Structure 1
Amino acid sequence: MNSGAIRRRLALGLAVLTAGGLLAVASPGDAQAAVHCSGRKVRTLPFSAGSVQVYKRDGYVCAVTVVKRTSGRRSMSVSVQARGSRPVSDTGAYVHHAGPVTVHAGHRCVRVRGSVGSASVRSGWFLC
């Protein structure tokens, strides 16, 4: 392998590491949720300990509860329910986020719930 090929590979590796670091520093909450849910963000439900971020794509609705400040494992949950169906949820002890959970809503209304510790948020029916 010649020295030009080695330089190109090193430059590519450095560019990938730099881009990843900038993404993590620029917006850790949004970047983390975007990794787990595809589609466009349709709603953010903030509460004292974090937020529930809701995304929609091709009739599917995805939600993630993201903490405001990480400080070890905490009890977290996220739940999405399409009208006429049972809720789909994820509950456990997590560091950064609970979820993602995804339901097929089609053109039906959905409601979302999320919690971090004792703080929580719940929406009414939306996306009708």
Structure 2
Amino acid sequence: MNSGGVRRRLALGLAVLTGSVTLALALPGAAQAAASTCSGREVRTLPFSTGSLHLYRQGGYVCAVTTPDRPGRKQSMSVTVQARGNRPVTDRGRYAYHAGPVTVHAGHRCVRVSGSVGGGSYTSGWILC
């Protein structure tokens, strides 16, 4: 093999390695959240000042996860889902990447959701009716 082929292979290997490291450093929270979130189709993303509330639906079930804008350090987070006529289900604690998932059987009923990260929060009215 000539020296041009060796250089091309080294450059390609370096490019692949650089891209992998960049993705690993840039998306640790997204990768963590994606690995342990809800099943089903994401139907809403509700942003607020310090994070986002993600809603998923599959069959008659609604699932919610709260993610921070700045993942990686533990902070106070919560997520709550309530199907109309039922009690709310909550996950609250100090997390680095997400609160939840929390799943309820809603059938064809409306749900109310809320989520918080640090000092920011979001509370919906009755949605997904």
Between the two proteins, the alignment pairs up a number of residues equal to: 110
- The answer for the alignment partner of 2:87 in structure 1 is 86
Structure-2 residue corresponding to 1:68: 69
Q: Which residue of 2 aligns with 1:51?
A: 52
Ranges in structure 1 where 5+ consecutive residues have no aligned partner: 1-17
Measured in 2, the distance between the counterparts of 1:23 and 1:40 equals 25
Q: For residue 112 of structure 2, what is the aligned residue in structure 1?
A: 111
Distance in 2, Cα, partners of 1:69 & 1:75: 12
Quick check: 1:79–1:101 contact (8 Å CA) kept in 2? yes
In the TM superposition, what is the alpha-carbon distance from 1:115 to its structure 2 partner? 0.2
Identity, in percent, stands at: 60
Aligned partners of 2:70 and 2:54: how far apart in 1? 16
User: Taking structure 1 as the reference length, what is the TM-score of the superposition?
Assistant: 0.76
Q: Distance in 1 between matches of 2:81 and 2:68?
A: 18
What is the CA deviation profile of residues 63-91 of structure 1, one whole-angstrom value per residue up to 9, with x for unaligned ones?
00001102521110000000000000000
**Structure 1: distance between partners of 2:106 and 2:94:** 27
Alpha-carbon distance between aligned partners in 1 of 2:23 and 2:72, rounded to the nearest angstrom: 22
- Give the secondary structure class of the aligned counterpart of 2:36: helix
Q: Which moved more, 1:118-127 or 1:22-31?
A: 22-31
Matched, 1:36 2:37: yes
Q: Deviations along 1:98-124, whole A, 9 cap, x unmatched?
A: 000000000000011000111100111
Contact 2:29/2:71, CA 8 A, preserved across alignment: no
Question: For the Cα contact (< 8 Å) 1:51–1:65, is it kept in 2?
Answer: yes
For structure 2, the residue ranges without an aligned partner over 5 or more in a row are 1-18
Aligned mates of 1:32, 1:24 — CA distance in 2: 15
